[in-house]
Amino acid sequence: MLYPTPLIKINSLSEMTGCQIYGKAEFLNVGGSVKDRAAHGIIEQAEKDGLLKAGGTIVEGTAGNTGIGLATLAAQKGYKCLIVMPNNQAAEKYQTLNALGVELVTVPPCPFADQNHFYHTARRLAEERGAFWANQFENVANYKSHYKTTGPEIWEQTNGKVDAFVCSSGTGGTIAGVSRYLKEKDTKVHIRLADPLGSGLYSYLKTGEIKSTGSSITEGIGIMRLTANFKEAVIDDAVQVNDTEMISMLYHLAQKDGLLVGTSAALNLYAAYKYALENQAKGLTIVTVLGDSALRYTSKIFNDAFLAEKNLVPHKLQTLS
């Protein structure tokens, strides 16, 4: 079952910008991330369609969080779960999945066109075993879950006074579901995509061409194709956020707000902060998503050796452009 998550005011950023900046605390979902919503919607729809029956197996390819969401529900409902992941994700995700009792398959990271990609590997294993493939990227039950839950919660929690929604995209489910709901309530709500380097969505929204430069340590966001879920999104603009900006925001939040957020949440909040700076005089209400907790990435983001290897040095937020 899904329960509404709190909308947290980010006091330091609100004071710095004169806008009201809020984060949807999705790390408080049972599975620890925003992906619980996609998992819930996908499983519920599969059950209704007769694709998933008692004692069945759920298979999914994931960067981790959707797998954890699916595994959490599988444990509650008595399903088996097989998760395929790239082998370069944070160790905490593998540890959590093992604790949940899933069958875990890891594969080397590779381009989507390669049939050894985690997405294709999951599809192939589901076919071989006659299991249910969740297919979070193309299964529109994903975005519909956000349309039914996340969007209405944000609208109610802001009393219908949300001026902008800023969000990154992996499968596209969150930004699609929330943007569609908010735009139906008020067409003036500004929807802005926050995209890491290495992803092609920023370029697509700006030029119509999917291309990318650079790379990012963020996990679970950024993509080089248009998914069925992302195609449902209603987006007004896009901004790129680099890893230095992201990690600086992450440390700022920890030290100024006592808020430990994951990499996608820090990227989202940097994009929201940047948008607020552009609109300081307007005193806007800006909402974003805190997809998961920093505690899911401690082996990386709080590891001095890892940050040094990636040449990442957190800066004071005010010094960033």
Extended beta strands in 134-255, E state = 164-167, 190-196, 237-241
Among 35, 93, 144, 183, the one annotated catalytic? 35
Smallest CA-to-CA distance from 204 within 250, 244, 235 is with: 235
CA distances to 64, 72, 78, 92 from 95, rounded to whole Å, are 10, 14, 21, 5
Longest dimension (CA), the chain: 58
Pairing of strands 20-25, 7-9: antiparallel
Query: What is the rounded distance in angstroms from the CA atom of residue 73 to the CA atom of residue 30?
Result: 9
Helices within 101-213 (DSSP H only) = 118-129, 141-148, 150-157, 173-185, 201-207
Are 90 and 20 spatial neighbours (Cβ–Cβ below 8 Å)? no
Between CA 27 and CA 162 the distance in angstroms is 21
Q: Give the contacts of 237 (CB within 8 A, at least 6 positions apart).
A: 190, 191, 192, 193, 205
Known catalytic residue at 35 = yes
Active-site residue numbers? 35
